[in-house]
Amino acid sequence: MTIKDIAKECGCAIGTVSRVLNDHPDVSDKTREKVLAVVQKHGFVLNTNAKQLKAQERKNIVVIVKGTSSPLLNTLLERLQKKFENLPYTVSVVVLDEEDDESARAVRLYYETKPVGFVFLGGNPDKYSQEFDNLRVPCVLISNEAESVESDYLSSVSIENKLGAFSATEYLIKHGHKNIGVIGGSLDSQVSCCRYEGFVNAMKENNLDFDFDSSYQISKYSMDGGFSAVEKLIEKNKSITAIFAMSDVMAMGACRKLHEIGYHVPKDISIVGYDGIKLGEFFFPRLTTIKQNEDELVEKGVSILLDCIERNTGSVHIHVPFELVEGESVRKIN
């Protein structure tokens, strides 16, 4: 019986089983119980000596996940771990809250563990402290843009956030909506700022006004955030007919709250999300959203990181295509 056999019987990734056996916290209770039940069933014992010998032959890459409740980042992490399973690298995962400083944590880990590279999933590169200059190993930020950071070691792979938000907003406008509210993150965040700018550009291009104070509600990138934010938004502006939410989870939380307070989506208020997470396909109503290509984001990100580590190539910043997916959450009005 090997870890691979346990993973097959559990229907989990090998990396997930490994995290359970090594008592990592970033595994759901349900998955942990399922894995441990199979381990107990077969009397499996982890060979720590073999593990230590193998670790000495492999080089470590630290993955820092910014956000504890993002399905998109969780999906990217799963794909990333699967990508590294057959490569001569170990992967250490650190999960941070939205308010934590990922650059300070990375610098500390750099000195403590001497990794050969870093992967950042999410995060706000505009807030990277001067300490970031001390990271003298290849780094790649996946899902956010990092051209603004002056670093020879930091690359990035993302979609064009401004263009994605522009497309989502223009879709609402073409469906007859003129009074559009926004549920989004703090504009201290680069990704929120880019998506807001794309939204405003679409409104201006269509000669529509937007009042930030009455029509923008700050929210965390979570279902709870969207749930709380939408009621405040409606209280400030009762005439909105549509909402642009800066993430699918915000949109889902908002839909739930709208239902509770007597609004029907999309009959009364239409809503567009962002990210294209799998759950949105099964949500009711099925979300209209800007879909990010998780496979391509990870594929490009890993390829760039390995080129930098193994071939000493320079940092690069690239965009991958996005797709506007039509669901059932937007109504055409006159």
Has residue 325 been placed in a domain?
no
Token pair belonging to 235: 């209280």
pLDDT in tens, 104-149: 899 999 999 999 999 999 888 877 767 788 889 999 999 999 888 8
29 falls within a domain: yes
pLDDT tens string 225-276: 999 999 999 999 999 999 999 999 999 999 999 999 999 999 999 999 999 9
If one counts the domains in the chain, the total is 2
Q: Is 31's pLDDT higher than 70?
A: yes
Q: How far is CA 138 from CA 66, 118, 188, 322, in A?
A: 18, 7, 26, 26
| 183 shares its domain with 274 | yes
**What percentage of the chain exceeds 90 in pLDDT?**
68
Cα(272)–Cα(288) distance, rounded to whole angstroms? 5
Nearest CA-CA partner of 146 in 170, 122, 167, 117: 122
Percentage above 70 pLDDT, the chain:
94
Give yes or no: residues 192 and 57 share one domain: no
Determine the average pLDDT of the residues in 37-53: 63
Residue 182 forms part of a structural domain: yes
pLDDT band at 46 (very low <50, low <70, confident <90, very high): low
User: What is the reported pLDDT for 226?
Assistant: 97
Q: Between residues 8 and 332, which one has the greater pLDDT?
A: 332
Compute the mean pLDDT over every residue in the chain, rounded to the nearest whole number: 90
Q: Please report whether residue 180 resides in a domain.
A: yes
Least confident residue range of 22-26, 64-68, 102-106, 316-320: 22-26
Do the beta carbons of residue 297 and residue 157 sit within 8 Å? yes
Domain span at residue 263 reads 161-292
Q: What is the mean pLDDT of residues 203-221?
A: 97
250 and 166 co-located in one domain: yes
Classify residue 334: in a domain, yes or no.
no
Q: In terms of DSSP bridges, do strands 322-325 and 288-292 run parallel, antiparallel, or are they unpaired?
A: antiparallel
How do residues 183-211 score in pLDDT, each as one tens digit?
999 998 889 999 999 999 999 999 999 99
* ∠ Cα 39 41 46 (to 5°): 30
Q: Are residues 144 and 176 both part of a single domain? A: no
Is residue 328 a part of any domain in this protein? no
User: Are 19 and 143 members of one domain?
Assistant: yes
Q: Residue 58: pLDDT above 70?
A: no
pLDDT in tens, 274-310: 999 999 999 999 999 999 999 999 999 999 999 999 9
- Domain of 197, CATH number, reads 3.40.50.2300
pLDDT for residue 148: 81
Whether residues 284 and 301 fall in one domain: no
